[in-house]
Structure formats: C-alpha cells, structure tokens
Structure 1
Amino acid sequence: MNIFRTAVLAAASTLALSVASAEAKTLTISWWGFNGEKLDQFIVKPFQEKCGCELVFETGNNADRLNKIKQRGGAGVDVAYFTDSYSQIGIEEGLFQKVDPAKIPNLAGLYDLAKDPQGGYGPAYTIGRVGIMYDEAKVKPITAWADLWREDLKASLSLPGITTTAGPMVVLLAGDKAGTDAFTNADPAFAEIEKIKPNVVKNYNTGSELVNLFSTGEVTASLAQDFVLGQLKKAVPTIKWADLPDAIATLNTVNIPKGAAEPELAHEFINFILDPKLQQTLAENGVDAPVATAVTLTPEQAVQWTYGADMIKNLKRIDYSKLNAAKGGWIERWNEIFGG
C-alpha cells in the first residue's frame, strides 16, 4: 500500500511539474545582442526571475530583423528593439501595435523626448547623438559641422557608410552647408559631398572599424554616434567630442509587433527596462545611456553618454519619414562618389 501511494504521489508530482512547465510563458525578443554578458546579468536573468517566464531571442542587425517581422506579417516576436529610423519603417508598414501607457508606469519618469517619440508606438529606452570626434593631439579644435570640409583634414577623415544610422545625416549636413534642404533638393548637398571626398580616407560601417582607423592613425576625425566614444577614448586617450550646439538625436526604441503572442508580458518587460534603478545600473556599467530623469551620474560616468536635461533638450531630431523615403536615391548617388 505504501509503495502504491508513493508511486501515485510521484506521478502526481511529475504531472504538476509538467503542467507548470507547460504554463510557463515565453517572451521572444528581437534585439542586436551587443553587450551580451551584461544584458544577461542585468536584464535577462532578473526579469526571468521576476516573471517566472523564459526569454528567447532573435538577433541580428536592424534591416534583417525588421525584414523577418515583415515576412511573418508582424508576428514571431513579442518585443522588438530598433533604432528609430527602422522602427519608423515598421510603424509605416503596419508591423507594430500601439502600447498602453497605463501598463508602463515608468514612462512617467522619462525625459519627454523618450516617452512617445513616434506617436504611441513605443518609448525610447536610450538616447544617443551623432556628432564629430577628433584627435585633439593632431587636429585643431572643431567647432562647427562645416569644419569637416577644412583643408587641414585632407586624407584624414572617416565618414559613416551611407547605409549606417549616421550615414544619411552626412547628406543633410552637406545640404545645410550648401544652404538647401536635401529632402527637396539634393543636388547642392551632393556637390558638397564631392568637395569633401579628398578629406575622406574611408567610409566605416561599424564602431569597431572606426576604432581601428583611429588606433592606427589612418584618420584623425570622424562623424559618428556617441556610443563608440568610450571605446575610442580607451584606444586613443586624446580623442575629443566636439562641443557642437546642435548634435543630432538618435533614439533606440522598443516596440510590440502587432502579432505578439504575449502582449501583456511585453508591456511588463518594457516597464522593467525603464525602471530608474535598472537604468542607473546600465549606465554605470557602460551598456546604455539613461532616459529616466532620476538617474544621477558622475562626470566620469556621464562622459560617454547623451545625459542630462540640458543636453537632451538641445538635440536636433530627424524626420525619418522623409529620410527613409529619400534614402534609396541618396545611396545611389553616394555610391557614385565613393564607390558601392
């Protein structure tokens, strides 16, 4: 009798575990996978413990991941990380659903720029900027965008490739230099790009490629996103960020695809990554710039980030609807100048 009762209890226990396992939810996240160990330590494991769920990932660059979501009709993942230029494409193609602010209470503690940058489709979880970096041991101070065209930078400049996040911004800046709106008349902008070509050693496509170009001394200045600043200063301590009054904002957004299997859990996850305590930890550990206003960083911690109300309010936003519409033609013209 005791043997039989033990067997029944064991079977019941196994069944309960199976049911619990079957009921455990899975949250599928599409992201880049950078800083994998730190993300696992600070986000993945703590959230799994909090929700009692499992996180699985789809990784890759913006274009590949967005295309997968499109091919699946907005399904297959529950949370999607993108730069704002790509999330704007997803919004315009109907791939994302609007978020419910009531389910993301941490939105209230964000900088205004991050709360709702694209009409209700998801917040920015980090803010960056595009600016100019230069080796102050080799280059006299850079104080304006037009300085990139200076003769003393001949054969010492690297520009971002046209298909990168920052690449199309070169066209906009060239238009500004020519006194034209590159969205409506790109000819003067590309005439300026022809003029800057003698300064350009190489167009880079990744942050690591740019670090290598500075490290070997092949280039002494570049237009770039600030996320690479920390790596650059480690490699070349004399790297300086040019103090320009109109740095260009770059946002990384987090969205919920329209076919998400776990939209409630997706909202919970978004709220989790916007928690000011986690934002503080991520900023201190070199993962992402904070968007929570409660985060306080020392000057040493803040130097690599777009941080603080004054800096953020002065950022220049890009109209990505216009940019995405123009980019195809710009790529062709860019490649005619620099080679495809």
Structure 2
Amino acid sequence: MTTPRKTMLAAASVLAMTAGAAQAETLTISWWGFNGEKLDQYIVQPFQEKCGCELVFETGNNADRLNKVKIRGGAGVDVIYLTDSFSQLGVEEGLFQKIDRSKIPNIDGLYELAQDPQGGYGPAYTIGRVGIVYDSEKVNPPITSWADLWREDLASQVSLPGITTTAGPMVVMIAGEKAGTNAFDDADPAFAEIEKIKPNVVKNYNTGSEMINLFSTGEITVSLAQDFALGQLQAAVPSVVWADLEDGAIATLNTVNIPKGAANVELAHEFINFILDPELQKTLAQNGVDAPVAASVELTEEEAAQWTYGKEMIDGLKRVDYSKMNQAKNAWVDRWNEIFGM
C-alpha cells in the first residue's frame, strides 16, 4: 500500500526532475538534416549525454538557413553548418564571431587546410572535392586533366553542373586556367573557352540525382561531380570512375561557425570540439557520414575509398578564393546563361 509520505516523496522527485529539465542548457544548431539517424546516433545523443543539455535544430539548405540568420541579425542559432562558399558570405556580412581556439583543442590535430579556412572563424569539420567522373567503358583514353573536357572525342557526351550549383562557378575557373588567365581578373578568355566546350555539353545538371540519371540513361559519359555522389553513381553505373587529374581536384569544405548573436557561446565551442574528436571523426567516416579532417584518423583502403582522405590527396587539392568568387558570380551567371540559352 502506498503511504501519503511515499506519495509526497514521489511527487517531490518528479517536480525536481521537471525543474532540472527546464533548467537544462539548450544548444541550437543549424544544419542540413540529412543522415539524420546516423547523426542522432553518433553526435546528438552522445553529446547530450556528455553535456547534460538539449540540442534543438533548424534545418534547410545553405541559402535558406544563412538568410534566416541574416534576417535575425546573427542571432537565433548557436552553431551553423555551411559549405565554405556560404560561410564566406556569412563572414563578409558580419554574421559570425571569431572562435576561441583555446576552447577547441581538437583543432590543432586537423589538417592545416581545415584549421582556419576563413581567417579566424570556424574550422572545417569535413573536406570533399570536385573532380571529373567518367564511364571507363566508353571513354578512351582515360581522362587525366581538366582540359580533357574539351576533347573532340567527347562531343555530346558531357554534363556540366549548373552555374548556380556549388561546382558550377568552378567550371569558369578551370576554363580560365585553360586559357592561361585568372577568371577573377579577366573573365573574357574563360568564357571564350566555355563557348568552345559547348558542343561537348549535353545538359547542365542542378542536382546529383539528375547527373546520376544522365549516366544511367547513357545520355552522358563524363561530368563534373562532388565526391560524395560517387558511391551512388557507381551503384547505378559500376563502370564510372573518378578521374586521377594531374592538375588536381578542387577542395570543398564544410564549416562550422558560431553566429555573432549565439545565446550559448561556451557550449557552442564545446560542441565544435566534440565533432572534431579523432575517434568520432573516424566513426563518422567508417559509417558513411563524412570524410575525416583529423590528421590522426587511419582508415582501411576500403573505408577510405569514398572519401577525400590522407595528406597526399588533401595537399594536392586546389583552393577556391570564395571572396573573389562571390563578387564575380552574378556577372558569371548572366554570361553562362547567354551561352547555354537559359
């Protein structure tokens, strides 16, 4: 039989637990939301247990989430995940605060490229690359340089990423290099080269799934791609391979930043340090979530196959000056659309 005293103690215990939950710290994170189950298993639940706090989320694409932070004057979230092209916009618009590296000791163990990609702001937590993929059963000789995209034997076989995608403006950079100029300083020679490549281009694609479908239907044999799409592409068309480019693939970084109006700056630093832990980075790579940027992470050849991984590969990547690209992009979009009739 339950006594009145036991009932009162139980009620007091429930009230204490409720009060404790109400006082628990909250960390608001802005991220894409894909890989949700794995992120919950490997990041969300372990960090909540570690910090005794609650994580809440704002999800969406880069542009939408960054715009929300801008509308709120840099407030509303404590940590924001963005690709480096969009985080550069946030830096230039004064939406982020510089981090305190002393509170993120795991930064020191990252590849140099990931430690401070944008001048004192947030680090990269993963790294990818943009390169060329091609159907090895249909393209001969193999593709070994960016200039091969212009080969006459590839007429009506190539898909380029749309100019408004992450990789699209990189085509203009590559075209400038082919012309022997810097497209940021003088875009005319670059767009002259894009005119020349037009006979090879079947279509501009805007999503990874669209590009994969073009390979699957045999409409194309060559495309630019980000490496995270390689696994799905090879599952659809096993003969597709990643080109070993003698002039290097292009780095893409996913960054984490603390907006200037963050409500919980201390916990935000703690969270960033947590996701840069080498053991967690290894677990995420082994489970198909993200490529590691912690230099001490060791993967088997099979585990590393889908990732931008290892010092030699990372040191060989080209970097993009997103400050210059963001200034040039609008004019490039107009010129691109004129060429491709869009």
- TM-score where L is the length of structure 2: 0.96
Deviates more, 1:144-153 or 1:47-56: 47-56
Q: Distance in 2 between matches of 1:161 and 1:45?
A: 38
1:187 alignment counterpart: 188
TM-superposed deviation, 1:13: 2.2
Match of 1:267 in 2: 269
What amino acid sits opposite 2:188 in the alignment?
Answer: D
CA distance in 2, matches of 1:55, 1:71: 22
Cα offsets for 1:208-240 (capped at 9, x unmatched):
221111112111111111111111111111111
Q: Distance in 2 between matches of 1:249 and 1:307?
A: 12
Aligned residue number for residue 203 of structure 1: 204
State the partner residue of 2:256: 254
Runs of 4+ aligned residues of structure 1 deviating over 3 Å after TM superposition are 2-8
Give yes or no for the alignment of 1:106 onto 2:106.
Answer: yes
**Matching residue's letter, 1:125:** Y
CA deviations 1:9-68 (Å, max 9, x no partner) are 344323312210111122111111121221111111211222222211111111111111
Write out aligned runs for 1:1-340 (5 A). 5-6=5-6, 8-140=8-140, 141-245=142-246, 246-340=248-342
Q: CA deviation at 1:197?
A: 1.3
Separation (CA, whole Å) in 2 of partners of 1:240 and 1:230: 10
Structure 2 SS opposite 1:243 = coil
Deviation of 1:319 (Å): 0.7
How far apart in 1 are the matches of 2:64 and 2:293? 27
Using the alignment, how far apart are the partners of 1:238 and 1:128 within structure 2? 22
In structure 2, distance between residues paired with 1:331 and 1:207: 20
> How far is the alpha carbon of 1:186 from its aligned partner?
0.8
CA distance in 2, matches of 1:6, 1:129: 62
Letter in structure 1 aligned against 2:280: L
Q: What RMSD, in angstroms, separates the aligned Cα atoms of the two structures?
A: 1.4
Distance 1:207 1:35 in 2: 16
Task: Give the alignment's TM-score, normalised by structure 1.
Answer: 0.96
Distance, in Å, in 2 between the alignment partners of 1:217 and 1:49 is 49
Q: Which ranges of structure 1 fall in alignment gaps of 5 or more residues?
A: none
Whole-Å separation in 1 of the counterparts to 2:187 and 2:119: 28
Distance of 2:22 and 2:36 partners within structure 1: 27
* In 2: Cα distance, 1:202 partner to 1:37 partner: 34
Identity %: 76
Q: Kindly tell me the number of residue pairs found equivalent between the two proteins.
A: 339
For residues 244-298 of structure 1, the C-alpha deviation after alignment (integer angstroms, 9 at most, x for no partner) is: 1321111110101011111111111111111111111111111111001111111
Of the structure 1 ranges 222-231 and 65-74, higher mean CA displacement relative to structure 2 is found in 222-231
Find the aligned partners of 2:70 and 2:271 in 1 and give their Cα distance.
22
| Counterpart-to-counterpart distance in 2, 1:36 and 1:14 | 31
CA distance in 1, matches of 2:259, 2:121: 10
Letter of the 2:324 counterpart: K
Q: State the secondary structure of the residue aligned to 1:117.
A: coil
Q: Report the residue type matching 1:285 in the other structure.
A: N
Distance 2:40 2:208 in 1: 22
Following the alignment from structure 2 to structure 1, what is the Cα–Cα distance between the partners of residues 324 and 151? 29
Q: Return the alpha-carbon distance in structure 2 between the equivalents of residues 228 and 338 of structure 1.
A: 25
Which amino acid is 1:260 matched to?
A
Deviation at 1:124, TM superposition (A): 0.4
Deviates more, 1:35-44 or 1:319-328: 35-44
Shift of 1:6: 4.1
